[in-house]
Structure 1
Amino acid sequence: MTSLAEPSAAESTTASPAWRPLLGLAEGADPAEWGRIRATQIHAGRQFVLFLLAANLVGAALIVMLFAHATPTLMLGGWAAVTIVVAVAAAMRRLATPKAADGYATVADLRGAVGEGVALAAVWSVPALMFGAQPGSAAAYGMWMVLSLLMTATAIAMAPLALATMAFLGLLGTIVGIRLAVAGDVVAASTTVLFTVLLVIACLNRARSLVMIRAAQMALGERDETVSLLLREFEESGADWLWETDAARRVVKASPRFAFACGLDPLAINGMPFLQVLAGPTWESGNFSAGLRLLAEKLKARDSFRDLRLPVHVKGEERWWEIAASPRFDERGSFCGFRGVGSDVTEQRASADKINRMARFDTLTGLPNRLQVNETLVRAMAEAEKWGSRCGFMMIDLDRFKAVNDTLGHPIGDRLLSRVSERLSQLMGDSAMCGRLGGDEFAVVIRDARDAHAVEALAHRIIETLSHPYEVDQHTLHVGASVGLAIGPRDGRTAEMLIRSADLALYRAKDAGRGVYRAYEPQLHVQAEERRVLEMALRKAIENNEMYLAYQPVVDAGTGGLTGFEALLRWTHPKLGAISPAKFIPLAEEARLIGPIGEWVLRTACAEAAQWPSHIRVAVNASPDQLQNPGFVSEVVSALAHSGLSPERLELEVTESVFMHEGLGATRTLERVLDLGVRLSLDDFGTGYSSLGYLSRTRFSSIKIDRSFVQAASKGVREAIAIIRAVVALAKSLEMATTAEGVETEAEHQMVQDLGCTKVQGYYFGRPLPVEEARTLANRWDEARAAA
């Protein structure tokens, strides 16, 4: 069935029929539509076949009468016989076509009629060419009259078959015109040609009109079919109904289906106010829905409406209807009521509500998702702005959640998130709503945050409640929470700005050691901008030659002899000046820049160490991100190969955080590096998540004792002294060296030496040196060693 939204082929043909398909010289744009049109053309040609046969017979008889005395009988009789045979054959062929006009015909069927026209033109050309009538004679005049009438009759009878008619008229008119011109009667010849052209034009116009009429009939038929189908679907559907009211808005002519939908008797519903029918039990109380009030306004204003949804009560059950209507006016223009349609859209509304809930609620926890949190915050900010009040926004990040996911798997992590969401929901009061932003991030929107103490107390309760242990699938899990708070509109005039402020406060809470709450402060934006500028500068620091290495001596604790240097990265920006590694190293790790920076450090340090005496090593720090890169081993091999440094002179320093995510491949990477002959040192042992298991399974050559223990031990802190002794004893049992960091005085040096440390590093033996000074120091110690 043709779409109502687009014109059909029949409609296109109605507007402008194509001449080639009309004549049968080509197929139409829509073969099916043109097949039906060709069938109509052939049928129209069939209707006048007897008229055309009679015209041919009468014409032949008149020609015989005109030339009976001037033409031999045999010739005249033979021509008449042939003419009758051709005319009868053409008529029989036309009568053999289908009687109905609603079939289909091919292009070949239409072209087949051309032969009939040519044959008739051939036999009717004989009198003009062979019967010898002299121009100007009565016989000639009579013959031209007979031929003119015959051509006119053919143009009328065969016009639907335009190509066949044009063949007959064109061929016969041309022969007659030539005959007259040859005989010297130019006027008669010109008149004949003009007469022929006029007949051809009339024939084409009639054929075109026939095609347009047939195309219009087909278009109307398609429309009727479409309307009938829609009406049939409407009548067969039990979910739609018609309704009608009078000028007083009372129901009239209520259909059984409408009464059934309302749950009322068809006889009782007539005459009831339409609004009362829809209001149901609320009619008496006046507690109308917003949709019913809007409908009342439309009816009162006599305005058309559509897609109006409102709740109705049918037999104690709430249903949702969608109605549309237009006002009715009589022939005098007087208003006489409304007529409209209605549908029960309860199921559609339920589906829409479900989709809307899925779009606004987190499927895992059931909490509002990021979209609804944002919408709620926007409304809270608008209310705060309107009433001069305050609203609050908290961002919550779970501490140590990633370790749960990495060690126990995502299913356990998902169940843990569900438990967290349950605890959060229980903490929310009437003015607060919590939601999940994604991952292990949650948020709380506080609609009324005028009481700063209450807001702060809520933040502390959240941290305390979420930090209690969780029992999940026989696992006891410990996670904490960090909270960042922003107050609107003080900390942000828009929802986006307030979220950004809370995010900065959360970042500050994480920096403070996690498990704490921090409120937004204006300088956080300054710090965030500083970080952004610093990150942009950091991305260009290497290519701009802004970074360099300083080398801090590492000496033997007993002899004080130089054993090596630790390569330390430094950065001096042309505008920002010297930037602390404590500031840009974490930024590089966060921005995923530590990989290329670390590779540059490794290559530069190896190239410099290759110029030192052969017994002096170089230590290079390797970050966890580098070790998780499968190409790190290739970087080490390349650095050693290009510099010519022997592997045993390179020492990689790693921290205990490398082993927190063993599944990421860091341990396997270290084993492959050790297989090259490179030495491995465990840096800052005792300050993180220490594990003796990794010490026994990984081939470390030394352990570095953090300077915080050295400083504390020098002040007589018993715990620090005990830790250093324990580390030294552990290292000796595992055949590892121990390096004490941060030694700044002779007393500290003597202390760590007495405690058994084998190597020392600190300002007492030298600050980090520029490359030239480090090279000079290495050569001086080598000369002193050789002299000794």
Structure 2
Amino acid sequence: MNRQPASPLPHVPLRALIGLRDGDDPDLWARIRAVQLLAARERALLLLAANLIAAAIAVMLLANHVRAIWLAPWAAALAGVAVRTTTYRLRTPDRPGGYAGLADVRHPTLEALALGVVWSVVPLAFAHDIDVTTALALHIVVAVLMAAATLALVSLPMAAVTFVGLVSAAGALAMLVAGNPVGAIADLLFAALLGVATVDRARALAMLHAADVALAEGDETVGLLLRDFDETSAHWLWETDASRRIVNPSARFAAACGTDQAGIAGRPLLEVLAGDGWESGQVAPVLRELATMLKHRESVRDLELPITVRGERRWWQIAASPRRDADGHFGGFRGVGSDITEQRASADKIARMARFDTLTGLPNRLYVNEELTRALAQAEQWRSRCGFMMIDLDRFKAVNDTLGHPVGDRLLGKVSERLASLVTDNELVGRLGGDEFAVVVRDATDPAHVERLAHTIIDILSRPYEVDQHTLYIGASVGVAVSPRDGRSAETLIRSADLALYRSKDQGGGVFHAYEPQLHVEAEERRVLEMALRKALENQELYLDYQPVVDARSGTLRGFEALLRWRHPAFGLISPVKFIPIAEEARLIAEIGAWVVRTACAEAASWPGGVHVAVNVSPEQLHNPQFVTVVAEALSDSGLSPQRLELEVTESVFLREGTGAVRVLGDILALGVGLSLDDFGTGYSSLGYLSSTRFSSIKIDRSFVQTAATGRAEAIAIIRAVVAMADSLNMTTTAEGVETEAELRMVQELGCRSIQGYYFGRPLPVEEARALTQRHQQTRAA
């Protein structure tokens, strides 16, 4: 290290400043020239704007004095030269701390010369045909342009002086020819002032850059010395000669290379770093990048390299700067290096954790999105298709609820193994979260292949699993979207696959469904209805109809079933089949259900004492312990006897074990409220439900009633068995959907105690229901 840090220059030679020759320190002036070019690049758009605006104004001023056949080519030439100059300037490498030769700063002078020549045409060729006012305006425009050019080219004084001098000389000459020597002198004085200011400002900038370079070099040298003498540091120094061969290797550098100092002294640095790949040419791309930087004598900053030391892969980080002797001759590189293998391993681990699921080891949502984005880009490039599958496990939540999350986690691990065994290099499988998985199909040009894969996934995942001595049965639903038909972005394709999955789940699960545009229409309709449903209660759009329930033998009124209805001012009457599922998904069912219970109880309290009211209850309501309080308050506020209220539940409420629904039903029974098992036989019928909860009645679904009326022996046997079972458990049986005389006689013969259906009455508005109860009361009194 025989060179001392440079100090700020007390004097800046004019010839070096304008680029006619090198300064006393070629290395320093090479850096100053690089900074000058970079500063000019930053003001390139200013120079372009000044030229184009001035040209536009000049054209407007000269349009009535100069023929277009001459003016148009001049304007085109000026625009072409200005744009070419700006383009070249913007291509200047953005490398602070780099180097530039004399030829690099001379090129802008040629560009300024070309611009000056084009602008000289205005006073020399066009000015003699114009009046005094136009000439004065044109003179002002050119003066402003010269000032703007001086500002834009202040870091390149030779270019600035060339442009200003040429334009001002042309203007002065034109004034002399026109007999205005005073104006010509004024032009030349103005140009001289601009030139002096430019050189002065450029000299100040050069001195400032020299000071910055000296400070940076001093800081770098001090830092290298500190690392060299710090024995506890993990860094080491290295140095090469002009041929890039290692010289004066430190002991720590040799140890990092797995050898001694003599083993690497005099060897090419790149050969030492490449190891066994030097002879074969099989080296890392970053090593080729380093070779290019060394060849161009560029500074190296924190470059990370893979190195093989004694058969072990290591990672180094190196930094270096070119060094020059007192005469300015290049003498090689001096740098520092460190082993960052452990830090790199930690970073890789963090990166993997960020992109892979810790439970299953599969790519996570982030990685899946990145891979899908890449697949879409490749498909668009090659004009092919890529696909995206969303997979949701059926009945998985029941496993978590009954056997616990640890068993559920191990089940997810086995599901992941099966999925990973199904995919090829053309697919990537990942876990999105919970029990949702995804498959990215990079090449989905064959629809049959995608469909086969979807069916295979459903088949493989539906086979039994052995987990902790439990045999578990789950299933899978799949939704598929294919680009570009179903979406051109990752976000759109995921949304389309999700809508397709939603349709598969709606169909009961265990099926595959491809995206269709209609699904988006339905999803948008659900979104609009959900928005409207959130305000339905507030806007008093919800109301209750009441369908009569009569005694099967006498036909007398026993009660009503309260049925929720929604009439929207814009959409009209909306079917409960459509809006009830939306209310459950949007978590609105609790508020709406509470309103239904309160409204039905308040209405039933005005009916005769023997008439009861039945209210349908969603499973979502029963999984909320606060629902008991809702029922109790509704009874208390209305004054209705608990025995006159009956809550109807479906068998699906028992599927989510461990959520407290059975306990909630028990608390409701303790209030004295009756329970009815609705739609018995159509879902997941089990006698266990009847033994776990004391139901007061069972409602036979209308599908059995209609089938039995046609004479089907199976349906008749089912109804007869349900009636016998209900009688033995002291429950009432209600036949739903009785619409004809034949159906009435059939259910009477089979022993059903109550009947509900259009044969006795459709759902009635509240006023008609009240009138029916009054007639019933009068009939009983008679």
TM-score with structure 2 setting the length: 0.71
2:250 to 240, 247, 255: 255
Counterpart CA distance in 2 for 1:539 and 1:289 is: 60
Structure 2 alignment gaps of length 5 or more: 1-217
Question: How far did 1:265 drift?
Answer: 3.8
Counterpart CA distance in 2 for 1:404 and 1:686 is: 24
The structure-2 alpha-carbon separation of the partners of 1:499 and 1:232, relative to structure 1 and needing over 3 Å to count, comes to closer
Q: Which residue of 1 aligns with 2:571?
A: 576
Q: Which residue of 2 aligns with 1:660?
A: 655
Q: Is the 8 A contact 1:566 1:620 kept in 2?
A: yes
Is residue 2:258 matched to residue 1:266? Answer: no
Q: Is the 8 A contact 1:325 1:341 kept in 2?
A: yes
The structure-2 alpha-carbon separation of the partners of 1:234 and 1:508, relative to structure 1 and needing over 3 Å to count, comes to farther
Q: Is the 8 A contact 2:224 2:336 kept in 1?
A: no
Residue-by-residue CA offset, 1:108-147 (whole Å, 9 max, x unaligned): xxxxxxxxxxxxxxxxxxxxxxxxxxxxxxxxxxxxxxxx
Q: Please identify, of 231-240 and 615-624, the stretch whose mean Cα deviation from structure 2 is larger.
A: 231-240
Counterpart CA distance in 2 for 1:604 and 1:228 is: 82
Q: Which residue of 2 aligns with 1:213?
A: none
The structure-2 alpha-carbon separation of the partners of 1:512 and 1:662, relative to structure 1 and needing over 3 Å to count, comes to closer
Counterpart CA distance in 1 for 2:600 and 2:287 is: 80
Is residue 2:386 matched to residue 1:409? Answer: no
Counterpart CA distance in 1 for 2:228 and 2:545 is: 86
Residue-by-residue CA offset, 1:215-263 (whole Å, 9 max, x unaligned): xxxxxxxx99x97998378631363211111111111111222122222
1:298 to 269, 290, 293: 293
1:76-475 to 2 correspondence within 5 Å? 231=226, 235-237=230-232, 239-475=234-470
Q: Which residue of 2 aligns with 1:206?
A: none
Q: Which residue of 1 aligns with 2:593?
A: 598
The structure-2 alpha-carbon separation of the partners of 1:228 and 1:742, relative to structure 1 and needing over 3 Å to count, comes to closer
Q: Is the 8 A contact 1:700 1:736 kept in 2?
A: yes
Counterpart CA distance in 1 for 2:584 and 2:592 is: 10
1:670 to 656, 659, 665: 665
Counterpart CA distance in 2 for 1:637 and 1:272 is: 91
SS in 1 for 2:230: helix
Structure 1 counterpart of 2:288, one-letter code: R
Question: How far did 1:476 drift?
Answer: 0.5
2:749 to 731, 735, 754: 754
Q: Is the 8 A contact 2:274 2:287 kept in 1?
A: yes
SS in 2 for 1:455: helix
Is residue 2:582 matched to residue 1:587? Answer: yes
Q: Is the 8 A contact 1:393 1:487 kept in 2?
A: yes
Question: How far did 1:778 drift?
Answer: 1.3
Counterpart CA distance in 2 for 1:247 and 1:291 is: 21
Structure 2 counterpart of 1:674, one-letter code: L
SS in 2 for 1:336: strand
Q: Which residue of 1 aligns with 2:105?
A: none
Q: Which residue of 2 aligns with 1:768?
A: 763
Between structure 1 and structure 2, the one with the greater Rg is 1
SS in 2 for 1:271: coil
Counterpart CA distance in 1 for 2:229 and 2:454 is: 59
Q: Which residue of 2 aligns with 1:33?
A: none
Counterpart CA distance in 1 for 2:225 and 2:472 is: 63
Question: How far did 1:530 drift?
Answer: 0.7
1:731 to 714, 726, 741: 726
Q: Is the 8 A contact 2:227 2:236 kept in 1?
A: no
Residue-by-residue CA offset, 1:487-543 (whole Å, 9 max, x unaligned): 122211211111111100000111111100001111111111111110000000011
The structure-2 alpha-carbon separation of the partners of 1:590 and 1:495, relative to structure 1 and needing over 3 Å to count, comes to same
SS in 2 for 1:664: coil
Counterpart CA distance in 1 for 2:449 and 2:399 is: 32
Structure 2 counterpart of 1:413, one-letter code: G
Q: Is the 8 A contact 1:238 1:257 kept in 2?
A: no
Structure 2 counterpart of 1:655, one-letter code: T
Question: How far did 1:786 drift?
Answer: 1.7
Q: Which residue of 1 aligns with 2:169?
A: none
Structure 2 counterpart of 1:691, one-letter code: S
Residue-by-residue CA offset, 1:590-642 (whole Å, 9 max, x unaligned): 11000010111111111111111111111011111212222212211211122
Q: Is the 8 A contact 1:369 1:435 kept in 2?
A: yes
Q: Which residue of 2 aligns with 1:696?
A: 691
Q: Is the 8 A contact 1:696 1:734 kept in 2?
A: no
Q: Is the 8 A contact 1:619 1:651 kept in 2?
A: yes
Q: Is the 8 A contact 2:601 2:634 kept in 1?
A: yes
Is residue 2:494 matched to residue 1:509? Answer: no
Question: How far did 1:693 drift?
Answer: 2.3
2:700 to 702, 705, 728: 705
Question: How far did 1:687 drift?
Answer: 1.6
Counterpart CA distance in 1 for 2:691 and 2:223 is: 87
The structure-2 alpha-carbon separation of the partners of 1:330 and 1:762, relative to structure 1 and needing over 3 Å to count, comes to same
Counterpart CA distance in 2 for 1:228 and 1:681 is: 84
Counterpart CA distance in 1 for 2:228 and 2:720 is: 92
Question: How far did 1:691 drift?
Answer: 2.4
Q: Is the 8 A contact 1:557 1:757 kept in 2?
A: yes
Q: Is the 8 A contact 1:555 1:760 kept in 2?
A: yes
Counterpart CA distance in 2 for 1:301 and 1:716 is: 96
Q: Please identify, of 283-292 and 693-702, the stretch whose mean Cα deviation from structure 2 is larger.
A: 693-702
The structure-2 alpha-carbon separation of the partners of 1:641 and 1:535, relative to structure 1 and needing over 3 Å to count, comes to same
SS in 1 for 2:249: coil
Residue-by-residue CA offset, 1:727-748 (whole Å, 9 max, x unaligned): 1011000010000001111101
Structure 2 counterpart of 1:547, one-letter code: L
Q: Is the 8 A contact 2:228 2:236 kept in 1?
A: no
Residue-by-residue CA offset, 1:70-120 (whole Å, 9 max, x unaligned): xxxxxxxxxxxxxxxxxxxxxxxxxxxxxxxxxxxxxxxxxxxxxxxxxxx
1:621-660 to 2 correspondence within 5 Å? 621-660=616-655
The structure-2 alpha-carbon separation of the partners of 1:228 and 1:351, relative to structure 1 and needing over 3 Å to count, comes to closer
Q: Is the 8 A contact 1:549 1:568 kept in 2?
A: yes
The structure-2 alpha-carbon separation of the partners of 1:465 and 1:255, relative to structure 1 and needing over 3 Å to count, comes to same
Q: Which residue of 1 aligns with 2:124?
A: none
The structure-2 alpha-carbon separation of the partners of 1:633 and 1:597, relative to structure 1 and needing over 3 Å to count, comes to same
SS in 2 for 1:612: coil
Q: Which residue of 2 aligns with 1:616?
A: 611
Q: Please identify, of 326-335 and 513-522, the stretch whose mean Cα deviation from structure 2 is larger.
A: 326-335
SS in 1 for 2:332: strand
Pairwise CA RMSD: 1.8
Structure 1 counterpart of 2:250, one-letter code: S
Structure 1 counterpart of 2:663, one-letter code: R
Question: How far did 1:759 drift?
Answer: 0.5
Residue-by-residue CA offset, 1:285-326 (whole Å, 9 max, x unaligned): 111201101101110111111110111222222211111000
Q: Which residue of 1 aligns with 2:530?
A: 535
Is residue 2:668 matched to residue 1:679? Answer: no
Structure 2 counterpart of 1:346, one-letter code: T
